[in-house]
Amino acid sequence: MPIASAHPLLSVAALVAGYGRPVVGPVDFTLARGEVLGLAGPNGSGKSTLLSVLAGAGRRFAGSVDLAPGVEISWQTQRQPAVAGIPLNGRELLALTGASAAGLPPWLAARLDERLDRLSGGQLQFLHLWACLQAPADVILLDEPTNNLDPQGVAALGAAIAARAAAGAGIVLVSHDDDFVAAACQRVVRLPGGPRP
């Protein structure tokens, strides 16, 4: 259940966004503390672009994105940074985002001292997600979080998202996994159309 709050963490009004040109919008929604909101729409409708604009990376052509005072954002993109040859382990990655390892599933907690480039794709994906979810942030943006995860990983991700929302974070996620969106999200905002000419 979302934690009741008179003031949303995030308010989006008549937002038109993109990079070199608009690719999404106009879009309107608010995000409450404790809410998990999904963004849905066909390929090319601008879901990932919208997340990037919320994180401050994309271009806003019109409309507004307003954060409540003091709100911090944590953003998990679809593409993870390359880790081959980098002598960084899981514990060090979590430390970089200020995330705690407490509650990490045992199948990954046991591998925290291994280098990232020795983890499987699913283990690395989950570790990046954990680092994002457990960072000291109020708004968490997740782009295709179930990529590379097996059913055990998807179940653990759903539990981690629910726990983080119960602790008061607002979460916006994009996923092509309709079952996951239905299970994880209290509300879904649908973006119209596909690529613009």
Question: Do the domain assignments include residue 33?
Answer: yes
Q: Average pLDDT in the 82-105 region?
A: 88
**Domain presence at residue 3:** no
pLDDT tens-place string over residues 49-67: 999 999 988 889 999 999 9
Number of domains in the chain: 1
Beta-strand pair 59-67/36-40: unpaired
The whole domain housing 26 covers: 10-190
Largest CA distance in the chain: 49
Mean pLDDT over each residue of the chain, to the nearest integer: 89
Q: Is residue 2 part of a domain?
A: no
What is residue 142's three-state secondary structure?
strand
| Count of CB atoms situated within 10 Å of the CB of 94 | 19
What pLDDT is stored for residue 25 in this prediction?
Answer: 85
In a domain, 197, yes or no: no
pLDDT at 1 over 60: no
Q: What is the CATH number of the domain that holds 47?
A: 3.40.50.300
Sign of the CA dihedral running 43, 46, 51, 52: positive
What pLDDT, on the 0 to 100 scale, is given for residue 2?
40
Determine if residue 86 is left, alpha or beta; phi over 0 gives left, psi from -120 to 50 gives alpha, anything else beta: beta
Residue 194 has pLDDT above 70, yes or no: no
Instruction: Check residues 195 and 35 and name the one with the higher pLDDT.
Output: 35
